[in-house]
Chains A and B, each alone.
Chain A
Amino acid sequence: MYDTSTNFLNVHEWAYGLTEVVHILSLAVGVGLITVVDLRLLGIGPGQASPERLLRATAVGSVIGLTLAVTSGLLIASTDPIRYFNHPTMRLKLALVVAGLAFNYTIHNRVVRGRYSPAAGRGVALVSLFVWTTTVFGGIFYAFT
């Protein structure tokens, strides 16, 4: 039986807080760099760089950010996995993360790289912004519901 009282993050409060800080900062890097591409698809940002050019420039950074965000998120969840997994808001958030990642690395990036209409670009940008924003809301509302 997994004993949460021996979990490193439960033993050391600073480690728990630090993991939360890493979660927020890496989220800002991962989602922030995806947002830059989304805003460009919506016509906001540097006209000199196409959305595809911006995606190429930010792809590595956003992978690093998202990987750190998921890893730190799992570490936070490991402090009380049963409560986290059984909580409806957290389940919704997890579903949004999985959907967001799947959408980003299939449809979203394919539309950015391929020869699709600007309307398709705006569509994926809005879906992307919506999914990531609701994920952030899910994370906060978990603590309040």
Chain B
Amino acid sequence: MTLSAIGRAIQEIGVFTAVRESVYAYPIILSTHLACIATFGGLILLTNLRLLGWMLIDVPADALIRSLRPWKQAGFAIMVTCGVLLGASKAEEYLSNPFFQVKLALLCAVGLHGLYFSKRVYRRDERLVNPSTARLAAALSLVLWVGVVSMGRWIAYYDPPSPQQAHPAPGNRQLVVTP
């Protein structure tokens, strides 16, 4: 089964077809996805700038992280839900898009980052955290998220090699169908 066949099977699932073909659902979901980047991104930024020791150093880092965690998780859940709806609705085109592939790889790296640093930094008593490990975790997190957001935007700039399937311009909601 080829990548494009898998993609086609995914995007032909009812809900994803509906998102792709609707006039308003697609931009609403895309806007929500971006609005989450602004809100949820601010929380990630605050956490990491604190771990780097660049702001709020008089506020305990563990208390700060704990108080933001449920809201970060909620923002992340909404952002991922929107992202899945957007990505799956154009899965055939996206799965073979290198920027989309890099974005997925970076998101996997975000997951591994969480697995590795969660117990060492984010969920640990601040007094027991090695400061340089905390700074490393924060710097890596920022780099990964900047990469994820950048790759997300670049998805729209990839021209697939096939001459028949022209890439729709960002904002062009009409799907170009390959004969």
Contacts known (A17-B157, A28-B42); A46 close to B67, Cβ less than 8 A: yes
Instruction: Indicate if the CB atoms of B42 and A35 lie closer than 8 Å.
Output: yes
Instruction: Indicate if the CB atoms of B31 and A143 lie closer than 8 Å.
Output: no
Instruction: Indicate if the CB atoms of B56 and A36 lie closer than 8 Å.
Output: no
| B64 proximity list for chain A (CB < 8 A) | 45-46, 48-49
Instruction: Indicate if the CB atoms of A24 and B71 lie closer than 8 Å.
Output: no
| B43 proximity list for chain A (CB < 8 A) | 32, 35-36, 39
One of B34, B46, B59, B153 near A33 (C-beta < 8 A): B46
Interface residue? B133 (CB, 8 A): no
Complex: how many Å from CA A132 to CA B35? 8
Interface residue? A20 (CB, 8 A): yes
Residue interface mask B147-159, A partner, CB < 8 A = 1:
0011001101100
Residue interface mask A15-42, B partner, CB < 8 A = 1:
0010011001101110111111001000
Complex: how many Å from CA A20 to CA B37? 14
| A143 proximity list for chain B (CB < 8 A) | 27, 170-171
Quote the shortest CB–CB distance from A27 to chain B (angstroms).
6
Quote the shortest CB–CB distance from B153 to chain A (angstroms).
5
Complex: how many Å from CA A122 to CA B57? 26
Complex: how many Å from CA A57 to CA B53? 12
Interface residue? A136 (CB, 8 A): yes
Q: How large is the interface on B (under 10, 10 to 19, 20 to 34, 35 or more residues)?
A: 35 or more
Q: Which residues 126-179 in B have Cβ within 8 Å of A in the complex?
A: 146, 149-150, 153-154, 156-157, 170-171, 173
Interchain residue pairs with CB less than 8 A apart (27): A17-B156, A20-B153, A21-B154, A24-B153, A28-B41, A31-B38, A32-B38, A32-B40, A32-B43, A35-B39, A35-B42, A39-B43, A39-B71, A45-B64, A46-B59, A46-B67, A48-B63, A49-B59, A136-B31, A136-B38, A137-B28, A137-B31, A137-B35, A140-B34, A143-B171, A144-B26, A144-B173
Q: Which of B's residues lie within 8 Å of A, judged by CB?
A: 26-28, 30-31, 34-35, 37-43, 45-46, 49, 55-56, 59-60, 63-64, 67-68, 71, 146, 149-150, 153-154, 156-157, 170-171, 173
